Structure 1
Amino acid sequence: MEREVEVEPGVSLWVQDLPPAGIGDGLPGEAVLLVMGADTSGIAWPDAFVERLRTRHRVVRYDHRDTGRSTHAFEEHPYGIADLAGDAIAVLDACGIDRAHVVGMSMGGTLAQVMALDAPDRLASTTLLCTAALSADRDGLPGPTRDVLRMWQEMTDPRDERGELAWRVEHWRRLHGTALPFDGLEFRALEQRLMAHAGRSDSPAAHSMADPDGLDRGAELATITVPTLVVEAPEDPVNPPPHASHLVEKIGGAARLVTVPGMGHALPSTVVSPVAEAILSHAAVSEGAARRR
Structure 2
Amino acid sequence: MERYVDVAPDVRLWAEDIAPTGPRPGEPLLLVMGAASSGLVWPDALVALLAERHRVIRYDHRDTGRSSAVFDEQPYGITDLASDAIAVLDAFEAPRAHVVGMSMGGLLVQLMLLDHPGRLASATLFCTGALPFPGAPDLPAPDPALLRMWGELDDPRDAEGELRWRVEHWRLLNGSGTSFDAAEFRALEERVVAHTGRHDPVVAHALMDTSGLERGAELASVTVPTLVIEAPEDPAYPPPHSGHLVRTLGHARMVRIPGMGHTINRTVISPLAAAILTQTTQTAAPA
With the length of structure 2 as denominator, give the TM-score of the two structures.
0.98
Match of 1:28 in 2: 25
2:133, 2:217 within 8 Å by CA — same for their partners in 1?
Answer: no
1:155-194 superposed matches below 5 A? 155-194=153-192
Which runs of 5 or more residues in structure 2 are unaligned? Answer: none
SS at match of 1:85: helix
Match of 2:68 in 1: 71
Which runs of 5 or more residues in structure 1 are unaligned? Answer: none
Shift of 1:204: 2.8
Shift of 1:59: 0.1
Match of 1:131 in 2: 128
Match of 1:6 in 2: 6
C-alpha distance in 1 between matches for 2:137 and 2:72: 32
Shift of 1:220: 0.4
Aligned-partner residue type, residue 11 of structure 1: V
In the alignment, structure 1 residue 17 sits paired with structure 2 residue 14? no
Greater shift after overlay, 71-80 or 130-139? 130-139
Q: CA RMSD in A?
A: 1.0
1:265 pairs with one of 228, 237, 262 = 262
Shift of 1:236: 0.3
Shift of 1:291: 2.5
SS at match of 2:264: coil
1:232 pairs with one of 214, 226, 230 = 230
In the alignment, structure 1 residue 291 sits paired with structure 2 residue 286? yes
Kindly report structure 1 stretches of 4+ aligned residues shifted beyond 3 Å.
none
1:243 pairs with one of 226, 241, 244 = 241
Match of 2:87 in 1: 90
1:142-184, CA deviations, whole angstroms, 9 ceiling, x for partnerless residues?
1101000000000111100000000000000000001111100
C-alpha distance in 2 between matches for 1:66 and 1:136: 28
Shift of 1:198: 0.2
Match of 1:200 in 2: 198
Shift of 1:139: 2.7
1:233-254, CA deviations, whole angstroms, 9 ceiling, x for partnerless residues?
000000000000110011112x
2:99, 2:120 within 8 Å by CA — same for their partners in 1?
Answer: yes
Shift of 1:73: 1.3
SS at match of 2:283: helix
C-alpha distance in 2 between matches for 1:203 and 1:53: 29
Shift of 1:136: 5.3
2:123, 2:224 within 8 Å by CA — same for their partners in 1?
Answer: yes
C-alpha distance in 2 between matches for 1:171 and 1:281: 31
Identity %: 60
C-alpha distance in 1 between matches for 2:56 and 2:202: 28
Aligned-partner residue type, residue 102 of structure 2: M
Greater shift after overlay, 153-162 or 129-138? 129-138
1:48 pairs with one of 35, 45, 48 = 45
SS at match of 2:64: coil
Greater shift after overlay, 71-80 or 129-138? 129-138
Q: How many residues align?
A: 286
In the alignment, structure 1 residue 144 sits paired with structure 2 residue 145? no
Aligned-partner residue type, residue 192 of structure 1: E
Going from structure 1 to structure 2, the CA distance change for 1:78 and 1:136 (only over 3 Å counts) comes to: farther
1:51-101, CA deviations, whole angstroms, 9 ceiling, x for partnerless residues?
000001000000000000000010111111011000000000000000000
Aligned-partner residue type, residue 170 of structure 1: E
